[in-house]
Amino acid sequence: MEWNEKALKIVDVLKLKTPPVGVKFFEEKVEIENAFKPSKHGLKFAVCQAIAFARYSGRSVVLEAQDFACPPAMLIYGVAVYDSIKSVLLSANWLKDASCDYEEKKLPAGKFKTFLFGDLTNMKEKPDAILIFANPEQVGRLIQAKTFFGGTVNASLTAKTASCAEALLPALEGEVTIAIPGAGDRVFAGIDENELIFAMPYDWLDRIIEGLENAGKGANVKYPVQRFLFFTPRFPKSYREIAEKFKRIDS
């Protein structure tokens, strides 16, 4: 699949520890060959956990309503209904009180029946959106790749529901964005403390690769950035003073 090769290209250029994760949602129930389905093993998953399972194991993960474990994600993905996501966050003290502003971003209830998360380097289904987990320098390079075509990368950050909502939902709506992982990604998804999330719709994949290859090329910038070491270091005064007493041995 063409997206497999392109994902491998991104892994190679950025030297990623884990592959990008492709995401695809279906409005009907779909059987995905060889995909891991938690409920078949007596489990329920958080969405961030499913994403992590895909990127660490290389297997695709399929979730349906009965596979969801995370209460906020159940409401965000429309597999359950309740008064509001805000009330769930209030119950866990993620907001001070009901007067706090909170923009509820969620999918229409019942619209999607199957949720697929896969290792983009080997998944067979063409994704709708892509998540890349990377360190700040790598994410900076991805931002440069996007802005190689102009504009900015915007983000609305709360460090809550980071991978499953703050990053993923804008990407599904056609936006390139970033997210800073919150609690779920750290507790249930094994995310590294130095990782950020870069998210994009699938149709940005070719441009991001082009940007990674060309942004800053005239300044010889790529990942990892070449550190500038062409200078004489200045040592502490005590070193400089005692060094004046040295007798250099000329070769």
pLDDT in tens, the chain (251 residues): 899 999 999 999 999 999 999 999 999 999 999 999 999 999 999 999 999 999 999 999 999 999 999 999 999 999 999 989 999 999 999 899 999 998 888 999 999 999 999 999 999 999 999 999 999 999 999 999 999 999 999 999 998 899 999 999 999 999 999 999 988 999 999 999 999 999 999 999 999 999 999 999 988 888 888 888 999 999 999 999 999 999 888 85
Full-model pTM:
0.92
Phi first, then psi: give them for residue 159, nearest 5 degrees: 55, 30
Residue 103 resides in a domain: yes
Q: Which of 165, 197, 184 is nearest to 45 (CA)?
A: 184
- Domain encompassing residue 27: 2-131+202-243
Residue 177 resides in a domain: no
- Identify whether the C-beta of residue 139 lies closer than 8 Å to the C-beta of residue 75: no
Compute the half-sphere exposure of residue 246: CA atoms within 13 Å on the CB side of its CA: 9
- Distance of alpha carbon 62 from the chain centroid: 18
pLDDT in tens, 111-161: 999 999 999 999 999 999 999 999 999 999 999 999 999 999 999 999 889
Residue 185 resides in a domain: no
H-helix or E-strand spanning residue 4? helix 2-14
Please give the Cα distance from 249 to 251 (Å, whole number): 6
Residue 239 resides in a domain: yes
Residue 105 resides in a domain: yes
- Identify whether the C-beta of residue 3 lies closer than 8 Å to the C-beta of residue 23: no
Residue 14 resides in a domain: yes
Residue 51 resides in a domain: yes
Helix (H, G, I), strand (E, B) or coil at 204: helix
The predicted pLDDT at position 251 comes to: 59
- Identify whether the C-beta of residue 13 lies closer than 8 Å to the C-beta of residue 212: yes
Please give the Cα distance from 34 to 59 (Å, whole number): 8
- Identify whether the C-beta of residue 132 lies closer than 8 Å to the C-beta of residue 15: no
131-155 per-residue burial string, b: 16 or more CB within 10 A, e: under 16: bbbbbeebbbbbbbbbebeeeebeb
The total number of structural domains in the chain stands at 1
Q: Which two three-digit tokens encode residue 101?
A: 């502003």
Residue 197 resides in a domain: no
Q: Which of 146, 120, 148, 116 is nearest to 133 (CA)?
A: 120
